[in-house]
Structure 1
Amino acid sequence: MVIKRILLVGALCWMPFSVAQTEEPPEAVEHLAQAIRIPTVSFQDQTQIDSQAFRDFRQFMQNTYPEVFSQLQVKSIAEHSVLLTWKGRDSSLKPVLFDAHYDVVPIERGTESEWSHPPFAGIIDEGYLWGRGALDDKVTVITTLEAIAELLKSGFQPERTLVFSFAHDEEIGGEQGATNIARYLKDRYGSLEFMVGEGGVVLSDNPFVPELPVAMVGLAEKTYVTLTLSAKGEGGHSSTPVDDNAIVRLAKAVTVLHENPFDPNLAPPVTDMLATLGEHVGGVQGFLMRNQWLSSPLLTWTMSRDRVSNALVRSTTAVTMFNAGIKENVISQKAEAKVNFRLLPGVSPEALIEDVKDIIDDPAITVTSGHWIPGPPVSDADGVGFQRVASAIQKVLPSAVVTPSMLTATTDTAHYVGLTKNIYRFHPYTLPMEDVGKVHGTDERIAIDSVETAVDLSVELIKQAAF
C-alpha cells in the first residue's frame, strides 16, 4: 500500500557489498565492533544491570580516543553517562548539543539461537557488522567520537561551544543519565541553540523516489504513557463459578479499548513530510500529497487503515501485559493489565486518562498511571538547526531529499525540552528498508560502508553546528 511505504521512509542511501574476510575492516568499523562486544545492557529490572560493563565501556572510549578525552572537557554524570565539551571561540553563542546513548536493550530470552551471529560478538561478515547496538545506538557514539578525533587532528576549532552527551540509560527512560545531563546543562548554559538527538535516518529504497536517498529529520516524537487497568471481583473455587469475575471484567475493558482506537488526525510534522515527498512524486499520488487542503481527509483515512502508517496519524493503543490468577482451579479476586499508548504531539496524558475511562465506561475498572515525561513540541522546520542538519546531509549526500518527519517511538530528547525547543532527531547512519525492523530485533546489523558514511556525516554535522 502506498501510504504504508510513507512510514517506512527513514534511513540512508546504501548499497550492500561483500568484504573479503581477509581484508582489514575500516578503523571505525573495528572500533564499533569492539564497542558491541561490551554488553552494556539496560534491564527494566535494574538489579540485573551489570555496572562493570558500563565502567568497561567508559574505559574503552578513553583508551580508544585519548586525544578526544584529553583535549575536550570531560564530565561524568550519574557515574556512567559522559559529557564532552568542546569550548568554542565565541562564548556569546549558545551551545549545540549532540546526544547519543551507549546502553542497549536485552536479547529476548529464547531468541538467541535465531541470530546469524552471537549478538555481543561484534562479528564482521558479508559486508556487515552484526550485533546489539550496531544500529541503536553505539554506532552514533562511535562515529561521533571518530568525527571529533578527525577534526581535532585537522586543527579544527568551533566558533560556538559544542557538547556531546553519551548517556547510559536511554533504553529505560533516561531518569539517571539524560535527566541529570539536562539539569547540569541548564545550570551551566541556561539554554541551547539546538540539539541533535537520535531518531531519523536516510533510506535508499523508498517507494516514492527509489532513485534518490530520503533523509528523515525528526521534528517530533510521540509521548510514551502506560496505564494500569485493575479489576476486583468475587473469588472462590472454580467448581462454583461467580458472576462478578475480575478477569472477565478486565478482559472486556481491554477488548473495548483495543476495538475502539482514537480518532485519526493528520498534523505536522507528518503533513510536512508528505508535502516534501510529494514534490518528488508525480501523478495523482504526488498531487494529493502536495495539495493537502484538498486531500487531507482521504490521506488520513487511507493512512489510518494501514497498521504501519496508522501510527503516524493516530495516538495508538496496545494491550501489552495481563496479570491474574494464582492457580487453575481458583477464581482470582483481582486482575491487572498494562496498556501502552503512544500519543501524538499535543495530546496530553491527562486527556488520555479521561478518554480511556469514557471508552471503558465501567466505574469498577480502576485506571492509574505512573510517571510520564511530556513529549517535546514540534520543532521548527525553518529553524537554524534544521537548516544546518540539512546542509550537512546534502554536503555528504548531495542527491538526498531531506524531509521533516515524526518519530513514533520515544527518545531521551524529552528531557531537554527546558533547554531548547529546537530538537532534531537524526542518526548519521544508512539502512535499507529491510533492516529498519532489526532495531531492537534479531540480527541487528549495519553495513560496512554505512559506518564510513556515518563518520563523514558526523564530521559535517559538527562543522555545520560549530558556527
Structure 2
Amino acid sequence: MGFISRDKATSLRPPYAFTGNPPRFRKYSRYISCLLFVLIALSIAVYFFPGHLLPRSLPSGHTAQGQDLRADDPVCPQADALVPGVNHDLWLTLGDALSTPLFQARAVRLVSGAVQIKGESFIDMGPVGNDSRWEVHAAMHTYLTRAFPLINKFLTREVVNTYGLLYTWNGSDPSLKPLLMLAHIDTVPVDDSTLGAWTHPPWSGAFDGTYIWGRGSADDKSGTIGTMLAIEMLLERRFFPTRTIVLAFGFDEEIGGAQGAGHISPVLQQRYGPNSFAAILDEGGSFGEEYGSIFASPGVAEKGSMNVRMEITGAGGHSSVPPAHISIGKLAAAIVKLEDNPFEAHLLRESVIYRRLLCLAKYGADMDPMLRQNIKDSMTSDQSLLELERILFNAAPIVKTLVSTTQSVNVIQGGFAPNALPEQVFAIVNHRIDSLSSSAAVKARDTSILEEVARRFNLNYNPFGIANYHSAAFTGNFSLVATTLLEPSPISPTEGVGAGAYHVLSGSIIAAYNTYNWTNSGRSKKDNTIFVTPALPSGNTDTRFYWNLSSNIFRYNHDNFGSPEHPLGGGVHSVNERLHVRVFLEMVRFYFTYILNMQECREA
C-alpha cells in the first residue's frame, strides 16, 4: 500500500496523500530549509535528552489496539495506543494521581531536591578511589534512599564501583526476559563565569510555579527521579511485576560512562548472559511538532566513534639550519590531506535518517507536496533518491554529518621552543562512524588517504600497527593509532520480524500522549495525534555498554522538545537548564505506562 490515500484515512491518520503525477522537481528552498532544521534539531535533541513481545492474547476489557500493527502498510507503520489490560484500573488510578496538586507538589519536591545535589563530571577525573571529586555522589545515594522508601524496601539495591546503582525488582515469572531501564545521576559542569547569567542559581532547584531550575533538571536527574517515582507509585498501590525490572544508574555518563555503566554492565552480563533482556530503555529522544504534526523520535541506533592519533617523528636540531620540511609541516600536510578528502556521504534507503524522512513525508500535515512527492518517488527511483540527496546536501552541507562518517582534527601538539626543531608532533582526529559503516572501513580509508603523505616526505608509514610503507631514505616515522574506539551500535528492529518491542514502546508513547488533555495547554485539536518515528542520536549514551544484552535498545524519555512549554529542550548542557513541571509529569506517565505494558507482553 505504501502511503495512505485520502479515502482510506482514519481519524488517527490525517489524509495527507500522494496523488497525481509526479511534478517536475523545482526549487523550494524554504521547505528544504525546514526539513534541514528538523533533521538537525532532532539530532541535537536526541543527543541530550529480539523478541516478539506482544501479549499472547488480550484480556477481557483490554482497550489496547496496539496489537494491530498494520502489517499491510510497509511505510512507517504505526501502532495504536497501547494501554494495560489486566492492570487497566491501576493505570487509570495512576493517571488520576498525576493531576492532583498534592502529587504535583511531591514531584516538584523530588526533582528539586535532586538538582540541589551537585554531581558534576569532569573530563580529567581519575578512577574512583583516586579522585575525591567522585565523592559528591554519596549524597545522591542518601537522597534516593530517603526519597523512595518502598523501592529500598522491596527492590534489591546494589552499589557497583562505589557510586553506581543497580536495583532489581524481581518478577513472579522467571521465564520472561527482564526489562532494563537506564539513567544517570551525574551532570555536565557549570562554568563559574556563567553564574550571573542564570535566572536562578544552577544548584538551587528553584521552582517558579512552572519550571524547576538547575543543572541536571533536564539531563538526566529527571530521568532518574521519573523512573523511580513511577515505580514508587506502583509499589504504593501494591503492584508487583510478573516480568523482572532492573534499574541501572551510572554516575559518569557525561564523560563516557566507563566508571559507572562500564562497571555495571559486566555485573549484568555475568548474571543474566547475552541477549537476556527483553528491551533496554535509556534517555534520548523526545517529541515535538514537525511539519504541522507531532512526532516522537526514539533513538534506535547510535553512531560509532574513533579517535586517531596521527604522529610524526623526525630528527631535531637547531632552527637556524632547518630542512625543507619539518615535522610540523608534514603533519599539517596530513591534516590538509584529510580535510581535502572528506568521507563520501549518501542518503541510503536502509539508513535510519531515510526511514525518518519517509515518516515525515507520510504524516507531516504541512509538508510541501513537491517535497513529499520527491521523497515518495525516492523509494523506488534511484534517480529521485540522488536528486533528493543533492538537494539536501547542497542546501546545507551540515546535513551530510547525519548520514555519513565525519572527521574533525580537534587536538594538535608539537614543538617546545621557538629555536628548536620539533622531534615529535601529533594531532588527534575524531571520527563519528556512520551507523552503516565500521571502524575497519574508517581505518582502511585513513590508511589509503594518508599513504601519499608518507611517500611524499619519505616517512616510514605504520598505520594502525601494520607496516605499510618503508622508505630507504626515510626522514622520519608516520604512525596512526586508534586511541579510542566504539563501533556503531546495532540498529534495533522497528518493522517486521523482531519489532514487537518497538511496537510496545510506540504504543506506550501514543497512549501516554493521548491520555493528557493537551488542549489545556493551548494546543490545537490536530495535536491530539502523535506519530512515532525511528531516530539516530548524534552522540552516545550509556547504552554503549549494554549492546549485547538485548537487540531492542531504545533511547527515549518522552520529553516535549522545542515546545512553548520546554523551549530547546530546557537549556540542556547550557545556562538556565530547566524542566517544565508538566513535562516531567508526562514523563512519569510514560514510564508507568511502558512498565505496565511490558508486564502484559510475552515473547513469541
| Alignment match of 2:557 (pick from 392, 410, 427) | 427
Rounded Cα–Cα distance in structure 1 between residues aligned with 2:123 and 2:263? 19
Which piece of structure 1 moves more, 187-196 or 91-100? 187-196
Q: 1:380 aligns with which of 487, 493, 503?
A: 493
User: How far 1:437 sits from its partner (Å)?
Assistant: 8.8
Q: Distance in 1 between matches of 2:154 and 2:591?
A: 19
How far apart, CA to CA, are the structure 2 residues paired with 1:90 and 1:4?
Answer: 47
Separation (CA, whole Å) in 2 of partners of 1:451 and 1:317: 37
How much does 1:313 deviate?
0.9
2:121 matches 1:42: yes
Contact kept? 2:187, 2:219, Cα under 8 Å: yes
Aligned letter for 1:30?
A: R
Superposed, 1:180-329 pairs within 5 Å as 180-190=263-273, 191-204=276-289, 206=290, 208-209=291-292, 212-238=293-319, 241-266=322-347, 267-281=350-364, 282=367, 283-293=369-379, 294=381, 295-305=384-394, 306-329=396-419
- How far apart, in 2, do the equivalents of 1:259 and 1:153 lie? 62
Gaps of 5+ in 2: 1-32, 47-101, 460-477, 515-528
Aligned pair in 2 of structure 1 residues 68, 24: CA closer, same or farther (>3 Å)?
closer
- In the alignment, is the contact (CA less than 8 A) between 1:123 and 1:131 conserved in 2? yes
Higher Rg of the two aligned structures: 2
**Is the contact between residue 213 and residue 577 of structure 2 (CA under 8 Å) also seen in structure 1?**
yes
Q: Is the 8 A contact 1:234 1:242 kept in 2?
A: no
Moved more, 180-189 or 373-382: 180-189
CA displacement 1:23-63 (0-9 Å, x = unmatched): 99732233222212222122222245622211111111111
Distance apart, 1:378 and its partner CA: 0.7
> In structure 2, how many angstroms separate the alpha carbons of the residues matched to 1:213 and 1:154?
33
Q: Structure 1 residue 457 and structure 2 residue 590: aligned?
A: yes
- Is 1:408 the counterpart of 2:538? The answer is yes
Q: Is the 8 A contact 1:238 1:329 kept in 2?
A: yes
Evaluate the alpha carbon distance shift between residue 62 and residue 303 of structure 1 in structure 2; reply closer, same or farther with a 3 A threshold.
Answer: farther
Paired positions, count: 453
**CA–CA distance in structure 2, aligned partners of residues 108 and 286 of structure 1:** 44
Task: Please list the CA deviations of residues 180-224 of structure 1 after superposition, one character each: whole Å capped at 9, or x if unmatched.
Answer: 3222222222211111122211123x3x22xx3211011101012
Does the CA contact (< 8 Å) of 1:100 and 1:197 recur in 2? yes
CA distance in 2: counterparts of 1:273 and 1:45, whole angstroms: 37
Distance 1:428 1:335, change over 3 A: same
Given candidates 414, 417, 442, the residue that maps to 1:352 is 442
1:27 partner amino acid: R
2:535 and 2:279 mapped to 1: Cα distance? 17
Higher mean C-alpha deviation, range 103-112 or range 333-342: 103-112
- Code of the residue aligned with 2:272 in structure 1: it is Y
Output the CA distance in 2 between the equivalents of 1:71 and 1:453: 25
Q: 2-side partners of 1:6 and 1:290: how far apart?
A: 18
Structure 1: state its 5+ residue gaps.
Answer: 13-22
Secondary structure of residue in 1 paired with 2:166: strand
Classify 1:27/1:303 alpha carbon distance in 2 versus 1 (closer, same or farther; 3 Å).
Answer: farther
CA-to-aligned-CA distance 1:62-112 (integer Å, 9 cap, x gap): 111111111111121222111111111211111111111111222357444
- Equivalent residue, structure 2, for 1:18: none
358-367 vs 343-352, which moves further = 358-367
2:351/2:403 contact within 8 Å kept: no
Which residue pairs with 2:432 in the alignment? 342
My pick for the range that moved more, 181-190 or 229-238, is: 229-238
Q: Kindly report the root-mean-square deviation, in angstroms, between the aligned alpha carbons of the 2 structures.
A: 2.5
Aligned residue number for residue 69 of structure 1: 152
Identity of aligned residues (%): 29
Contact 2:285/2:559, CA 8 A, preserved across alignment? no
Q: Is the 8 A contact 2:302 2:540 kept in 1?
A: yes
CA contact (8 A) 2:207 2:213 kept: yes
* Post-superposition offset of 1:115: 3.8
SS in 1 for 2:118: coil
TM-score, scaled to structure 1: 0.90
Shift of 1:308: 4.4
Q: TM-score, normalised by structure 2?
A: 0.70
- Are the counterparts in 2 of residues 277 and 289 from structure 1 also a CA contact under 8 Å? no
1:8-47 paired onto structure 2 within 5 Å = 8-9=41-42, 26-47=105-126
Structure 1: distance between partners of 2:180 and 2:430: 30
The 2-side partners of 1:437 and 1:222 are apart by 25
